[in-house]
Amino acid sequence: MKNNEAVFISTSEEMTMEFGRFIGEHAENGLFIALIGDLGTGKTHFVQGLAKGLGINDVVSSPTFTIMNYYEGEIPLKHFDFYRLDTEENLYNIGWEEYSEGGVTVAEWADMFPGLIPERAIYIYLSNKGTTEREVKVIWGEEAPDAITKEIEKYASCH
């Protein structure tokens, strides 16, 4: 399978949120974002921006203990965090199947359950490069939605 990627450096918390907002503004129903990166690399800040871009004004915090937070919107947002998830079964118990369709889905710690991530997912790898520097590497396969990956390529090339 052909993979594509785009990379840039985020130099501030605001910039990571801004990138999230950009994605939210270009998001279509069914978008799936898989977030991968250590603690403190900015996954949750990215999702805060993503929610803003979708026109959701709620306060977004990490669903570390609830595993999922759901935000109503013109396109709803489902924010997962797999960090404290023990097994895939537990996810099915909280309604993964109903929630994994429609709306925009974003999953922190997506690498913990790779089998749950659909082919159409856009992967965002965040890594620490300094106190406020984070490398943002976006990787996607053929099934990812074209319109938004084109926008991401443009975004990365001018940041």
Ligand X SMILES: Nc1ncnc2c1ncn2[C@@H]1O[C@H](COP(=O)(O)OP(=O)(O)O)[C@@H](O)[C@H]1O
Interface stretch with Mg ion, choices 41-49, 84-92, 123-131, 134-142 (CB under 5 A): 41-49
Smallest separation (angstroms) from ligand X to the CB of 83: 9
* 34, 107 Cβ separation under 8 angstroms: yes
Q: Which of 20, 34, 45, 53 binds ligand X (CB under 6 A)?
A: 45
Site string for Mg ion, 95-114 (x = CB under 5 A): -------------x------
d(CA 93, CA 35): 22
Q: Which residue number, 122 or 149, has a Cβ lying nearer to Mg ion? A: 122
Smallest separation (angstroms) from ligand X to the CB of 115: 22
Give 92-98's long-range contacts (Cβ < 8 A, gap of 24+).
Answer: 94/67, 94/68
d(CA 110, CA 81): 8
Helix 13-26 and helix 43-53, axial crossing angle in degrees, nearest 10: 40
Q: Which of 11, 62, 66, 128 binds Mg ion (CB under 5 A)?
A: 62
Q: 98, 92, 76, 88: which is closest to 29 by C-alpha?
A: 76
Site string for ligand X, 13-42 (x = CB under 6 A): x-xx--------------------x-xxxx
Of residues 78-137, those binding ligand X (CB under 6 A) = 108, 132, 134
Q: Which of 18, 21, 24, 43 binds Mg ion (CB under 5 A)?
A: 43
**Which residues of the chain form contacts with ligand X (CB under 6 A)?**
10-13, 15-16, 37, 39-45, 62, 108, 132, 134
Query: What residues make contact with Mg ion under the rule CB under 5 A?
Result: 43-44, 62, 108
